[in-house]
Amino acid sequence: MSEPYREWILGSIDSLRSRKARPDLDRICRMVKRRHGSDWDRTRSELEKLIEEQTVLKVNYKGSVSYRNAAKVLRGRRRPEQSKCAVKQPSLADWSAGDSALGPVDEEDHMEDMEDEMSTTAGMDSSMDEEGDESSLDAMCAQSTADSGISMSPITSSNTSQPVPSPASSKNSPTHDALRQDTDSAYILPDHIQPAAQQDTGSVALVQQPAAICLSTLQAEDPLLSHCTVTPVSMSALRLQSQHICPVPLHHIVSVCHQDEALKSDGGPPAVPDPVEEGDMCTKSTTEEEPVNNGGMNNGNDVVKREIEQDPLLWSVADVASYITSVGFPEQALAFRTQEIDGKSLLLMQRSDVLTGLSIRLGPALKIYENHVKVLQRSHFQDDSRLFS
């Protein structure tokens, strides 16, 4: 996806919307062509890419296809009081919360899919403790077909089988209504996250099970996980690992699980010794500027300190905010701090989370995600892959 097209297409959609014209394919392509001289087919293919990455939503509104700027749709529908409080607002990431089983992907797409899944789990994380708020892709699809009676768009027509609601989601789910943007409007999700496309039943089954069951399944297979409890982060890691789309090694998951445990309770030490007491140490890493006089010896603190600085997984909320500030976005750093984004959360963020979940302006949000968050995520998981493979 070339960056100009993103701006051109989103700009066209916004422009069409502002003059009360339906932002359909025809109008979007025409406008992009007229303004930028872009080829019609190219615009269409770029639009499809935007739809796949959920920057643009393809909707069926009042019987015709229309397109939405995802950032504006979510922001627009959000009630002011909700944007201020901590209540989890259904996000695009949530909509794909049920997706998994991406199937075989080529090398180029692998990382993108991994990122999608990462943010998917991020969405799951933030809503895990609010049963009923966890949105479901399945619900979305069921909604699309059942309520609106509208068939899937041509874009999704390669996957023509009817979406089958998964056991994990129900049409009676409270999220069903919460997800509804409009009774006439059916958000059409890309092929690779349509439930009906889920063929890898093994990983799907795992991912769609409740968190505790997922974990216990893995615990039965690997004693290393026997001390783990279900936490948002550990479950995110489990999901990534279980789908084989992200090279998260099992013992890394154990590490993550225990880090979570250490954070959760002040009680006894984790069953597996963890080199880092995350919260305190992370704070020190950014606030303690004075060199430690240790008589010329490298003590453990320095090692840990360097490790923390290098590994975003170990960043605290303050560390993340400092990082965002340091790369030139002090204003947006506040949003990260407000939303309590620590290193783990940062590594789990998806484009839509950054664009819409933080209530920051689209321009900086795009830059932050593309130039920093994505880079951190990529390097982090590549490092893991090298270390543990």
CA 231 remoteness from chain centre: 17
Q: Given the rule CB under 7 A, which of 1-9, 58-66, 232-240, 377-385 is the region that contacts DNA?
A: 58-66
- Using CB under 7 A as the criterion, what x/- string covers residues 179-198 for binding DNA? -x-xxx--------------
Question: Residue 226 carries which side chain, given as an amino acid letter?
Answer: S
Question: Sheet holding 56-61: strands in order across?
Answer: 64-69, 56-61, 186-188
Q: Which of 318, 322, 331, 326 is nearest to 364 (CA)?
A: 331
Using CB under 7 A, pick the residue from 39, 130, 131, 177 that binds DNA: 177
Task: Report how far residue 306's alpha carbon sits from residue 161's, in angstroms, rounded to the nearest whole number.
Answer: 51
How far apart are CB 182 and DNA at their closest, in Å?
5
How far apart are CB 271 and DNA at their closest, in Å?
47
220 makes contact with DNA (CB under 7 A) = no
Q: Given the rule CB under 7 A, which of 61-69, 99-107, 280-288, 355-363 is the region that contacts DNA?
A: 61-69
How far apart are CB 171 and DNA at their closest, in Å?
15
Using CB under 7 A, pick the residue from 28, 50, 51, 73 that binds DNA: 73
Question: Residue 334 carries which side chain, given as an amino acid letter?
Answer: L
How far apart are CB 20 and DNA at their closest, in Å?
3
Task: Report how far residue 68's alpha carbon sits from residue 22's, in angstroms, rounded to the nearest whole number.
Answer: 10
Q: Which of 28, 24, 31 is nearest to 62 (CA)?
A: 24
Task: Report how far residue 223's alpha carbon sits from residue 216's, in angstroms, rounded to the nearest whole number.
Answer: 10
Using CB under 7 A, pick the residue from 2, 45, 64, 299 that binds DNA: 64
Structure tokens at 301: 């603190």
Using CB under 7 A, pick the residue from 15, 219, 229, 283 that binds DNA: 15
Structure tokens at 334: 């506040």
Task: Report how far residue 98's alpha carbon sits from residue 255's, in angstroms, rounded to the nearest whole number.
Answer: 25
186 has which bridge partners? 60
Task: Report how far residue 10's alpha carbon sits from residue 31's, in angstroms, rounded to the nearest whole number.
Answer: 11
Distance separating the N- and C-terminal Cα atoms of the chain? 31
Using CB under 7 A, pick the residue from 4, 39, 45, 77 that binds DNA: 77
Question: Residue 342 carries which side chain, given as an amino acid letter?
Answer: D
For DNA, how many residues bind (rule: CB under 7 A)? 26
How far apart are CB 99 and DNA at their closest, in Å?
23
39 makes contact with DNA (CB under 7 A) = no
How far apart are CB 342 and DNA at their closest, in Å?
31
Using CB under 7 A, pick the residue from 1, 7, 11, 17 that binds DNA: 17
Strands 56-61 and 186-188: antiparallel
Structure tokens at 302: 């320095």
Using CB under 7 A, pick the residue from 43, 54, 55, 66 that binds DNA: 66
92 makes contact with DNA (CB under 7 A) = no
22 makes contact with DNA (CB under 7 A) = yes
Which residues of this protein are in contact with DNA, per CB under 7 A?
15, 17-23, 30-31, 34, 59, 61-62, 64, 66, 68, 72-73, 76-77, 177, 180, 182-184
